[in-house]
A and B are shown apart, each in its own frame.
Chain A
């Protein structure tokens, strides 16, 4: 197995299948025309290319270049790695040919870097396999993450007919100008989305605020004071953190129905913080523990009270942690679906997620639903990308709730 003339054709063959599939899928989505990877032919071409690359070292570049060009051009004849549909424009066909040839040439040279023709050392072999897997991993993960989000945005910009006509066409007709955003303007004009956006926003901000108000003193107490039941308390926080919402939702639904809190924003604002307090408490106490006690003790010596120490010393020191927790709690409240779905029936009081659920009906076109999804996603994404450092920190500290 660890022979250059075996390893490289195998890796080359598998790699070309991946490249051919990627190019075919990308071109299908970009143009809406028919492209199909040919697995059998890809395997053969890939094996030949892999063999060529180990047979001719990098200084004999022309041989490597020739096989890549041949491999790309073969697509035009129907005997290449990618089968191009008959009604495809010349332009799209040429892009496909060039993409296959160039990507294959560059990536195969990288994967089979310095691989000798015959005997391979264990290092050479494993490193080639790792380079192959890395290449595959980047393509795979990027595809699975980018495609759904692109579909979301693209669908929201298209009419139902266009979607049904050719579901493969991922292109967006930019020439329409502002008409492109029709579903968005309709959501804000006819479906109250402005109100929902505002409701979601202030409910989330209130949740963050109340959560911090409750959890900062609590976390400080758990982190700094020694008292009976401290350990049990820490554990019960974690335990409560694991209780499924659907189990709590039933009694809450009953209680809210009986007291008339159902269908009110007040009820939502009362419930949301309680679901986030355990998380915040847990994250903050971990952070407070890491802070040096000496600074606080110095403050106590100078005659500050405990509360003054928390307010004047501990909190300013833990601003990054507070930012992480706030972001994380904001995200939970903004994304919350179950409670809003169960407790709110009155369309004038919907949060954004509840409003989007309303759009999931056969009478409302798909594009509106997707536009609603985009409206719900954009703010949290913008916040996330802008404050990525805090967010990832918040996520790792916040354990794995979800």
Chain B
């Protein structure tokens, strides 16, 4: 007879299930750690280092081998140089195997010849230093034929310069540079303006569009599809379209405004402060209202209609129904959408980069990462900005998870 007490602890079945679960998850966990977690740790590491684009190619010894001269003066030449002009390389050695049929003469220091094996030890190669090794040789046969043979055997060189990426020197220079001066606060202000107004705008527009389509009529599906276009289209396509549309010289928007008498001279929409910032925010609202619209509509259609019927019986007016019935029902989805969109807008890079390139007072934190890393080619400073973004993100997600546990289904 089996006892009726429930099992305690982890049974064999539960263990097997957990093991299977982790096996199924393993590919995902591994790939995501490699491409997300590792880079996240790397960005902290890099942000404390003076790392520039040019450091991507660390200094290395470069060698060229050639057979020169003729007759008695025949010689093999190795030319060795440091690829960097400033940084010294340690432990530079050169080794090569002379091909059969080549008889070498005297070999000068720092090289030694053991049979056909050549080995040279240069020690430290200073920045910009060049070395030339000449080895007089005799060949049996046609020197021209040997030229290819000699040059075909690749000499091996060793030697390593200091690698900024892997050594243990850290500095706070990048952070000092990022926080230095008024620029950072300007960037932060632009980011906040863009995020707050972009998020609220997209939500309000989305709510309006959802109210429009929250009734069934013929062609409703078509209009819904149409309203989603801005979100579904590739960002490059819509961003370049906006730039074309608002071009100061050939843009239709300016031509229209001038014709309507609203302005006399063309307006440079994406090139003037503070208009450019307003325009990129409007673009953000335009591009992402479809998403809030879709979510709000989905929630509206799941509200029980009997509630509205009851309100009708009680004589509630349309506005009263909207404020007192719809809005409280939508509050959950609205707050979650607000938080998610806030985080996403804060992280947005492509849109502004394509519209203005961060010029005319539209540089947000994310664009600043790119600017520092690639325009000023200081990857370390870019990483420092990225760390600032990450810290903000962690703070946001903390708030987010407090909310999301209340709102199911998202």
Contact = CB atoms under 8 A, between A and B. Distances in A.
Nearest to B58: A258
B63 interface: no
A98 B236 CA distance: 40
Contacts of B39: 247-248, 250-252, 255
B84 interface: no
- Interface core residue of B24, B208, B397, B410 (most chain A CB under 10 Å): B24
Interface residues of B, number: 97
Interface in A109-151: 122-123, 126-127, 130, 134, 137-138, 141-142, 144-149, 151
Interface in B222-261: 223-238, 240-242, 244-245, 247, 249-252, 254-256, 259-261
B410 A399 contact: yes
B232 A36 contact: no
Contact of B28 (A36, A215, A227, A360): A215
Contacts of B319: 126
Contact of B236 (A24, A227, A376): A376
Interface size class of A (residues with CB under 8 A): 35 or more
B25 A233 contact: yes
A145 B382 contact: no
Interface stretch (B40-48, B110-118, B136-144): B40-48
B286 interface: yes
A170 interface: yes
B375 interface: no
B232 A227 contact: no
B252 A145 contact: no
Contacts, number: 272
Nearest to A357: B236
B303 to A, nearest CB: 16
B386 A250 contact: yes
Nearest to A163: B250
A65 interface: no
Given A148-B245, A376-B237, A400-B337, A395 B294 contact: yes
B5 interface: no
Contacts of A377: 233-234, 237
B4 interface: no
Given A170-B252, A248-B39, A356 B236 contact: yes
Interface stretch (A54-62, A176-184, A218-226, A314-322): A218-226
A126 B326 CA distance: 16
B21 interface: yes
Contact of B260 (A37, A142, A357): A37
Interface stretch (A45-53, A72-80, A274-282): A274-282
A174 interface: no
Interface stretch (A100-108, A191-199, A365-373): A365-373
- Interface core residue of B250, B349, B386 (most chain A CB under 10 Å): B250
A220 B318 CA distance: 45
Given A149-B241, A166-B255, A337-B354, 18 more contacts: A134-B212, A141-B209, A141-B227, A148-B241, A155-B241, A217-B25, A218-B27, A220-B24, A222-B25, A230-B21, A242-B344, A242-B400, A244-B393, A251-B43, A334-B234, A356-B234, A388-B221, A388-B224
Interface of B: 14, 17-18, 20-22, 24-25, 27-28, 31-32, 34-36, 38-40, 42-43, 46, 56, 165, 208-209, 211-212, 221, 223-238, 240-242, 244-245, 247, 249-252, 254-256, 259-261, 286-288, 291-292, 294-295, 298, 317-319, 337, 340-341, 343-344, 347, 349-350, 354, 366, 369-370, 373, 379, 382-383, 386, 389-390, 393, 397, 400-401, 404, 409-410
